[in-house]
Amino acid sequence: MALSGASRDDVLGQVGTPGLFMQVATAGVLFDTLTEIAADGTLHGELAVAWHSNADATRWEFDLRRNVAFHDGRFFSADDVQASFAPLQDGLLSDVESVEVAGSQRIIIHLRDGDPQFPMRLSHPQTVILPGGDAASAAAGVGTGLYRLHEFRPGRHLVAYRVADHYKDGRAGWFDSVELVSLPADEVRAEALRDHFVDAVDLEHPADLGDLENITLLPREDFMSTAVDQRLALPATVGSRWPMDNLRAAERWWMA
149 lies in the same domain as 188: yes
- Indicate whether 23 belongs to any domain: yes
Domain that holds residue 22: 2-31+145-255
- Indicate whether 136 belongs to any domain: no
245 lies in the same domain as 194: yes
183 lies in the same domain as 119: no
CB neighbour list of residue 159: distance below 8 Å, 6 or more residues apart: 149, 150, 151, 152, 177, 178, 179, 180
Of 73, 99, 131, the one marking the end of a domain is 131
- Indicate whether 158 belongs to any domain: yes
- Indicate whether 138 belongs to any domain: no
CATH of the domain at 43: 3.90.76.10
CATH of the domain at 195: 3.40.190.10
150 lies in the same domain as 247: yes
Number of domains, the chain: 2
- Indicate whether 54 belongs to any domain: yes
- Indicate whether 140 belongs to any domain: no
121 lies in the same domain as 158: no
26 lies in the same domain as 61: no
Tell whether the model's pLDDT for residue 56 goes beyond 90.
Answer: yes
177 lies in the same domain as 238: yes
62 lies in the same domain as 122: yes
Give the mean pLDDT of 136-154. 96
Tell whether the model's pLDDT for residue 85 goes beyond 80.
Answer: yes
Beta bridge partners of 227: 201, 217
CA atoms within 13 A on the CB side of 86: 14
155 lies in the same domain as 249: yes
188 lies in the same domain as 236: yes
Q: What is the pLDDT of residues 207-248, one digit of tens each?
A: 889 888 899 999 998 899 999 999 999 999 999 989 999 999
Give the mean pLDDT of 168-193. 97
Amino acid at 75: F
Tell whether the model's pLDDT for residue 80 goes beyond 90.
Answer: yes
Of 100, 131, 162, the one marking the end of a domain is 131
Question: Which phi and psi angles does 43 have, rounded to 5°?
Answer: -90, 130
Predicted structure pTM score: 0.94
- Indicate whether 84 belongs to any domain: yes
159 lies in the same domain as 226: yes
18 lies in the same domain as 109: no
- Indicate whether 139 belongs to any domain: no
Q: What percent of the chain has pLDDT over 70?
A: 100
State how far the Cα of 87 lies from the Cα of 140, in Å rounded to an integer: 18
Of 70, 103, 131, the one marking the end of a domain is 131
